[in-house]
Structure 1
Amino acid sequence: MNNLDIRQDTINNAVWAACDTFRGTVDASVYKEYVLTMLFLKYVSDMWQDHYDDYKAKYGDHPELIEEMLKTERFVLPPQANFYALYEQRHLPGNGERIDKALHAIEDANVSKLHDVFQDISFNANKLGEEQQKNDILRLLLEDFIKPELNLRPNRVGQLDIIGNAYEYLISKFAAGAGKKAGEYYTPPEVSTLIARLMEPKEGDEICDPTCGSGSLLMKCGRLIREHTGSRKYALSGQEAIGGTWAMAKMNMFLHGEDNHKIEWGDTLRNPKLLDGNGLKHFDIVVANPPFSLEKWGHENADKDPYHRFRRGVPPRTKGDYAFILHMIETMKPKTGRMAVVVPHGVLFRGAAEGRIRQQLIDENLLDVVIGLPEKLFYGTGIPAAILVFRKKKQDDNVLFIDASRDYQDGKNQNYLRESDLQRIQDTVNARTNVDKYAYLASPKDIADNDYNLNIPRYVDTFEEEEEIDLMAVRKERQQLKAELVKLEEQMAVYLKELGYE
């Protein structure tokens, strides 16, 4: 079978079907990590086997040469950590322990890429049930991934990014069912695409997401550079507070071949880890979809922040939106720095401390574009969001407002941005001119006159005037209808008389 016969949805469906092994026994919030990790293990095993077979065909009589060639691969797979070795022993007791040992062996053999990635997941944990049940579940999971549809060897799938796409597919499916927790690790793909395009990433750029989740937003930026230049000369950096989600980001980067990355585990606001010496590292591009209005973000220590991120003001104790924004502002490079951040609409107009911070950012001429998005785009919340674009070097001192809230594909439970919607936003940003009922280029005076309130309807008038009613025409139509009704009544009377009714 050649790679033209491989369909993305075939692999996606096969991986999603593997989740049936857990359904009804283990909650989805738990089993998602097991399925995603098994997909990772199967992929690296298939890739390793494919490369081993290629070297054996070339150097069959020289096993020592094969061993040396395998050391030059992107990763090392110890023999006991191979998926197929685990599959062969699936009927024996101790599946959970064997899988855990395999994952730790892979970590130890690939420390620079996978250090601590599997520390928060244990296939031998009691959450999978008592020993016999756990062993049976894991046997079935190994059998799910041995299916022909999940032969992930490069000589079958070619250069297609089928594995990375399947991983993203699984993350999106889990996010769709995760309620409010979904935002902790997933940004809808069309929103990621829009942000990446707005940032116009270039070869050589250093790109950061301080709340990177599963890493999809960072990888969209990298993919644009590869598509436009064919180059992998760029660096991706991120930080994620949740251990399991951080591990997903690391595996996701690996599956997509993004080796030039640095993903740190920790709380960005309380303990930023992307540093340069004693200060924050600066980036060409900073993008993020932070948790909306985070209540416990670290207000108690903000006034003593060693990185001076809150010199424009300390955000409210119970709303961390501007804490993330101020962190991102401080990490932009002085000349090339640009950033895009997803925020709830309250960020645009709330007063007090947030109003003072907002005014200072505008007076410093950092805010470039405000884009209102449709409702129900994000998993777990129906509220509409906005994208704020900031630049260290703007082409003018105006702010472009775009109301894109009415352009979307209506889904059953979720709305989607179409390619035409994305292109309209991008074209409007590039043109930077007024568009009736869609965009308005506001001057500093316009914004000051509105008391630095950025609520989009203050700038983009989407009001549709109702068509004037011609009362005389309506009266004439009403008279005609009355005359027709008289004729119908007369005709009905004739019919009734003919039928013998008086």
Structure 2
Amino acid sequence: MSEKVTQDQINSVLWQAADTFRGKIDSSTYKDYILTMLFVKYISDSYKESVEQYTERYNGDERRIERALSRERFVLEENTTFDYLYERRTSPEIGETINKALSGIEENNSRKLRGVFRNIDFNSESVLGKARERNAILRSLLEDFNRLNLRPSVLGDEDIIGDAYQYMIGEFASGAGKKGGEFYTPGMASELLARLVKPEENDRIYDPTCGSGSLLIKVANKVPNKKVAIYGQERNGATHSLALMNMYLHGIDDAKLQWGDTLANPLHLEDEKLMKFQAIVANPPFSLDKWAMGFAGEGANDKKFKMDASLDPHRRFEWGVPPSSKGDYAFVQHMLYSLAENGRMATILPHGVLFRGASEGKIRKQIIDMNLLDAVIGLPEKLFYGTGIPACIMVFKKNRQRKDVLFIDASGEGNYEKGKNQNRMREQDIAKIVETYENYEIKDKYSYVATLDEIKENDYNLNIPRYVDTFEEEEPVDMEQVKGNIKDIKKELSEVEEQMEKYLEELGL
């Protein structure tokens, strides 16, 4: 029995593989190559182990072995396996060989993997450099991965491979700076959203800007038997591919993840209408500029184009069209229109959505008047990749029984752990938010339940300090003590001056 491989061993090999690229190309690009290779290595090793097991079980009976293999999760031909690629690692055409293997894997598993690798080119001169440099990188990548044994019997716990994938996505996000936030929501923020929407068995769970899928996986894992249906859409092609691989490596084979612009081209439809979901979570791009350009049609001039509610066949912008430079409420309206009866949704947004006026104010008023807003939660600063600004979570519910709104200010010191570049929320911080939300309770300097009348009095402005007073009273100043202090300081000063005079006299100055 071979020794079990540990999470640390896998992580360390992956990190070394990343060294091959560092300094040559941006980490937000090279992550695609490393994560794809991890996926290929894993399905190759799993398949190889199955071949050996069936060969032994059926005493080499080719037909029975073939039949058994055809029922495997993924089917591979010899020229699409990792070993085949590794043997050819010094070939001058290795980039092309890897690309062919990837399309072979897609063809043999078209029901599951169609299009998964279409956005990843291992023979790209523009990304990986000219042939000689490119071949050196790819040879080194194959050699790094060859040190890993990812057979199921050696992994022991199948979560290890999914966790390794997740670990790398997180590491890449922190290294990619601004671009990191485009494909990854930090684990603790995902955990918080998952607990706020409380998914249940048989729910449909949806993330309209799903990135690499980590947030959806967190939500699915909240249901003990994972009996939920997962839906997502992602605009970036390479990120969409990572999300699909991420699902498979976490044992989720039936996630429906679409590639495209969710606002201009939502792809989860039923009878041509927007599909409805019981739980929706999202971390959309903050204040997306030109969010409506997908509605403009071919050859439109983006300077002159003006979005109009009538351009959307799904009528999502009847409460108001968000400003062209800020897409926040476009995503919020899309999600509210996709929410099933009794559905719950939680989304991360910049604070501006709480108080900005004009069309956003109009939309906000409509949402509050329809009694859809359930809670506003202020988060600590520097939690997210690529932005230092503090964000908030807005929680919405269909068919709410209450008429008031809970405000939580979890941004203060003591509600998070400070880090050098990034702050993080601890388990106790998340638990405090969730408990306050579930009990809808008022806590001094932390949370407040505002009536609809109070919100109306504030002109529908939801800025958290209007509702949660975190002001710390300062100790009253004792004037007598201050006078005494000044007197003491004056006395000390005159003594020092006297001493100085003496020194200067002694020095004859």
Q: TM-score, normalised by structure 2?
A: 0.91
Q: What is the Cα deviation at residue 488 of structure 1?
A: 12
Name the CA distance, whole Å, in 1 between partners of 2:79 and 2:85. 8
Whether the 8 Å CA contact 2:346–2:393 is kept in 1: the answer is: yes
Residues 1:270 and 2:264 are matched in the alignment: yes
- Partner deviation per Cα, 1:313-354 (whole Å, 9 max, x = no partner): 1111211110000000000002x2111111110000001111
Q: What is the Cα deviation at residue 410 of structure 1?
A: 0.6
Residues 1:140 and 2:140 are matched in the alignment: yes
Name the CA distance, whole Å, in 1 between partners of 2:52 and 2:421. 47
Cross-structure match for 2:314:
307
Cross-structure match for 2:446:
438
Name the CA distance, whole Å, in 1 between partners of 2:378 and 2:129. 47
Cross-structure match for 1:341:
347
Cross-structure match for 2:302:
none
Q: What is the Cα deviation at residue 94 of structure 1?
A: 1.3
Name the CA distance, whole Å, in 1 between partners of 2:365 and 2:400. 17
Counterpart amino acid of 2:330? A
Cross-structure match for 1:379:
385
Cross-structure match for 2:462:
454
Cross-structure match for 1:321:
328
Name the CA distance, whole Å, in 1 between partners of 2:481 and 2:137. 74
Query: SS of 1:284's equivalent?
Result: strand
Cross-structure match for 1:296:
290
Cross-structure match for 2:479:
471
Q: What is the Cα deviation at residue 201 of structure 1?
A: 0.6
Name the CA distance, whole Å, in 2 between partners of 1:182 and 1:382. 13
Cross-structure match for 2:273:
279
Cross-structure match for 1:173:
171
Mapping for residues 351-362 of structure 1, pairs under 5 Å: 351-362=357-368
Query: SS of 2:318's equivalent?
Result: coil
Name the CA distance, whole Å, in 2 between partners of 1:6 and 1:471. 69
Whether the 8 Å CA contact 1:179–1:380 is kept in 2: the answer is: yes
Residues 1:164 and 2:162 are matched in the alignment: yes
Name the CA distance, whole Å, in 2 between partners of 1:486 and 1:270. 77
Whether the 8 Å CA contact 1:370–1:387 is kept in 2: the answer is: yes
Counterpart amino acid of 1:178? A
Name the CA distance, whole Å, in 1 between partners of 2:442 and 2:494. 55
Cross-structure match for 1:500:
none
Query: Which residue, out of 234, 246, 252, partners 1:258?
Result: 252
Q: What is the Cα deviation at residue 302 of structure 1?
A: 3.7
- Partner deviation per Cα, 1:354-393 (whole Å, 9 max, x = no partner): 1011011001100000000111111111000000000002
Whether the 8 Å CA contact 1:234–1:260 is kept in 2: the answer is: no
- Which consecutive unaligned segments of at least 5 residues does structure 1 have? 497-502
Cross-structure match for 1:427:
435
Name the CA distance, whole Å, in 2 between partners of 1:136 and 1:483. 76
Whether the 8 Å CA contact 1:22–1:31 is kept in 2: the answer is: yes
Name the CA distance, whole Å, in 2 between partners of 1:302 and 1:37. 40
- Partner deviation per Cα, 1:448-481 (whole Å, 9 max, x = no partner): 0100000000000000000122333455577788
Q: What is the Cα deviation at residue 484 of structure 1?
A: 9.8
Name the CA distance, whole Å, in 1 between partners of 2:45 and 2:313. 47
Whether the 8 Å CA contact 2:41–2:82 is kept in 1: the answer is: yes
- Partner deviation per Cα, 1:22-67 (whole Å, 9 max, x = no partner): 2233332332211111111111111112222222332233232222
Query: Which residue, out of 400, 418, 425, partners 2:426?
Result: 418
Cross-structure match for 1:208:
206
Q: What is the Cα deviation at residue 425 of structure 1?
A: 0.3
Mapping for residues 116-135 of structure 1, pairs under 5 Å: 116-127=115-126, 128-135=128-135
Query: SS of 1:61's equivalent?
Result: coil
Whether the 8 Å CA contact 1:303–1:314 is kept in 2: the answer is: no
Root-mean-square deviation over aligned CA pairs: 2.4
Name the CA distance, whole Å, in 2 between partners of 1:216 and 1:302. 32
Query: SS of 2:291's equivalent?
Result: coil
Name the CA distance, whole Å, in 1 between partners of 2:365 and 2:373. 10
Query: SS of 1:224's equivalent?
Result: coil
Counterpart amino acid of 2:257? I
- Partner deviation per Cα, 1:55-80 (whole Å, 9 max, x = no partner): 23322332322221111121112211
Query: Which residue, out of 220, 230, 237, partners 1:236?
Result: 230
Aligned pair count? 489
Whether the 8 Å CA contact 2:345–2:396 is kept in 1: the answer is: yes
Q: 1:475 to 1:79 in 2, by over 3 A?
A: same
Query: SS of 1:369's equivalent?
Result: strand
- Which consecutive unaligned segments of at least 5 residues does structure 2 have? 293-305, 504-509
- Partner deviation per Cα, 1:182-228 (whole Å, 9 max, x = no partner): 222111111000000001111111000011000111111111112xx
Q: Percent identity?
A: 54
Q: 1:488 to 1:309 in 2, by over 3 A?
A: closer
Name the CA distance, whole Å, in 1 between partners of 2:352 and 2:451. 22
Name the CA distance, whole Å, in 1 between partners of 2:417 and 2:173. 19
Name the CA distance, whole Å, in 2 between partners of 1:461 and 1:2. 60
Residues 1:391 and 2:397 are matched in the alignment: yes
Whether the 8 Å CA contact 2:307–2:321 is kept in 1: the answer is: no
Q: What is the Cα deviation at residue 259 of structure 1?
A: 1.1
Whether the 8 Å CA contact 1:207–1:236 is kept in 2: the answer is: yes
Q: TM-score, normalised by structure 1?
A: 0.92
Query: SS of 2:340's equivalent?
Result: coil
Name the CA distance, whole Å, in 2 between partners of 1:24 and 1:451. 52
Counterpart amino acid of 1:450? N
Q: What is the Cα deviation at residue 133 of structure 1?
A: 2.4
Residues 1:190 and 2:188 are matched in the alignment: yes
Query: SS of 1:396's equivalent?
Result: coil
Whether the 8 Å CA contact 1:402–1:456 is kept in 2: the answer is: yes
Whether the 8 Å CA contact 1:90–1:142 is kept in 2: the answer is: yes
Counterpart amino acid of 1:243? G
Cross-structure match for 2:221:
223
Whether the 8 Å CA contact 2:308–2:321 is kept in 1: the answer is: no
Query: SS of 2:221's equivalent?
Result: helix
Query: SS of 2:307's equivalent?
Result: helix
